[in-house]
Amino acid sequence: MSLDPKDWQDFKTLAHAHLDTLLSHVENSAQGPVWRPVPDSVKTQLAEPPPLDGQGLNAVLDDFNHLVLPYATGNIHPRFFGWVHGAGTPTGILAEAAAAAMNSNCGGRDHGAILVERTVINWFCDLFGLGPKAGGLLVSGTSMANLQAVAMARNKAIGATARTCGNAGLKLVGYTSIEGHSCLTKAFEVLGLGSDSLRRIPVDSSFRMNTEALEAAMLEDRNAGRIPFMVAATAGTVNSGAFDDLPVIAALCRSYDLWFHVDGAFGALSALSPSLRPLTAGLDLADSIAFDMHKWLHVPYEAGCILVRDQTHQIAAFGGRPDYLLTGQALAGGDLWPADLGLELSRGFRALKVWFTVKELGFDALGAAIAENCRLACWFAAKAETNQMIHLMAPVSLNIVCCRLQPPTLNPDQWDSFNADAVAHLQTSGVAAPSTCRIGGKVCIRICIVNHRTTEQDMDILLDALTDLAARAK
């Protein structure tokens, strides 16, 4: 029984109207609140049981427009400053629709989608200067990319038996800074290394990994009979956007024979901007790089990437297929399948939205949008610095301002909860959506600018709202 529409013309009319709704939603993204809580009535309606009789597309679209679309995270709005969320583009909508129309399974075989992914991977290997043996894979996000990097590093350290015998009782240890992302801890956990085996190295006053402490920790581990196997440096830490000293860490990894991984979730794409590119010096020395296209490339969720300097390590860690999947002739052809390079067999056509975005806008415009976000962060920080109520908590290394309201009308021991409440208030009022983090144990307002739609006016609205909140504190 075909599930296609009975009347294609009717369907196309509805579909075109739906596309108009979606495009207008993005066109008017600056209007209305950044975020609004989902009312209880909507929650109840969404918790419906599955219908046995279909309701028809008209009813589904109506429900979507009223129950789902108004309650988005808000990251397409120019005053969304929370976490590290990309803003999307209208072209992303078309690319997602195009990928759905093709409905390609990108685990492997011989078809155009595989070639598009290979092209996209080559673009980024070249951008980061990874050399002729490089390769990679699109994954759901940097958490998954970091997991795959740790797996490759572990397998290289253990050798051929890594996949058959596991860690075999070897005491492998890796290193990241205390500012390294929490997904690295999870990677160590799920790979059976244990989170204690990921050493958290202290940082300096700019939140960069202390490389002397790193070397000392490696030596201590070695002397104790443990096996240091990787360093996960960060290009753009999640709290403050700090870049570890990649060339120095690369040199340490080379002299102690460790895998040099860089978590560049958003910061790696600074390489697209001529003015920011110097920050990424040393990225070309990495054994692997994890980063996201759904952050600073504005590709719709999800699109992350793991790149590796020598793709043989990726094949060694993830290659191997059962008989029914072996490379054959015609459609079953193709030399290297994405399934040989990662954990997933069935995979969507993530590469298409990256391909659309980069081809439509070009690396230069994407880099300029990144540079503008960083300019706005410095501009905001300079203004905040002259404001008695606002205290900057970290240097602005990239696109993140970490600050704290310190109203003199409150006791300093009330400032933590005051700042947490201030962020919740801004979100709930719909004016802006920063998030929180802790710097030196203190709750901060974290303003992360990842949106190509954000302007100076938006930053001023946020600054006024913060000043107003602090002035009214009692």
Ligand X SMILES: Cc1ncc(COP(=O)(O)O)c(C=O)c1O
Residues engaged in binding ligand X (CB under 6 A): 84, 141-143, 181, 183, 234, 236-238, 263, 265-266, 292, 304
**Cβ distance to ligand X smaller for residue 238 or 459:** 238
Find all residues with CB under 8 Å of 459, minimum gap 6, and list them.
376, 379, 380, 383, 449
**Cβ distance to ligand X smaller for residue 162 or 357:** 357
CB of 83 to ligand X, least distance (A): 6
**Cβ distance to ligand X smaller for residue 25 or 181:** 181
Q: What is the DSSP letter of 6?
A: S
CB of 406 to ligand X, least distance (A): 27
3-state DSSP assignment of residue 82: coil
Q: Which 3-state string (H, E, C) describes 191-247? A: CCCCHHHEEEECECCCCCECHHHHHHHHHHHHHCCCEEEEEEEEECCCCCCCECCHH
CB of 304 to ligand X, least distance (A): 5
Q: What is the distance between the alpha carbons of residues 348 and 239, in angstroms, rounded to a whole number?
A: 31
| Tokens (6 digits) for 473 | 């504190």
CB of 142 to ligand X, least distance (A): 3
**Cβ distance to ligand X smaller for residue 450 or 470:** 450
CA–CA distances in Å: residue 154 to residues 140, 147, 151, 179, 234: 21, 11, 5, 22, 19
- Own/partner contacts of 52-59, CB < 8 Å, gap of 24 or more, are 57/5, 57/11, 57/14, 58/14
**Cβ distance to ligand X smaller for residue 78 or 141:** 141
Find all residues with CB under 8 Å of 426, minimum gap 6, and list them.
432, 433, 434, 462, 465, 466, 469
Q: Are 169 and 197 in contact (CB under 8 A)?
A: no
Q: What is the DSSP letter of 32?
A: S
CB of 442 to ligand X, least distance (A): 20
CB of 34 to ligand X, least distance (A): 18
CB of 264 to ligand X, least distance (A): 8
CB of 295 to ligand X, least distance (A): 7
**Cβ distance to ligand X smaller for residue 25 or 261:** 261
**Cβ distance to ligand X smaller for residue 179 or 221:** 179
- Minimal CB distance residue for ligand X: 141
**Cβ distance to ligand X smaller for residue 86 or 108:** 86
CB atoms within 10 A of CB 195: 13
Q: Are 128 and 307 in contact (CB under 8 A)?
A: yes
Find all residues with CB under 8 Å of 316, minimum gap 6, and list them.
152, 155, 156
CB of 147 to ligand X, least distance (A): 9
- Own/partner contacts of 362-366, CB < 8 Å, gap of 24 or more, are 363/127, 363/272, 364/272, 366/269, 366/272, 366/296, 366/297, 366/298
- Own/partner contacts of 382-387, CB < 8 Å, gap of 24 or more, are 383/459, 383/463, 384/463, 387/463, 387/467
CB of 348 to ligand X, least distance (A): 16
**Cβ distance to ligand X smaller for residue 342 or 407:** 342
**Cβ distance to ligand X smaller for residue 108 or 304:** 304
Q: Are 138 and 210 in contact (CB under 8 A)?
A: no
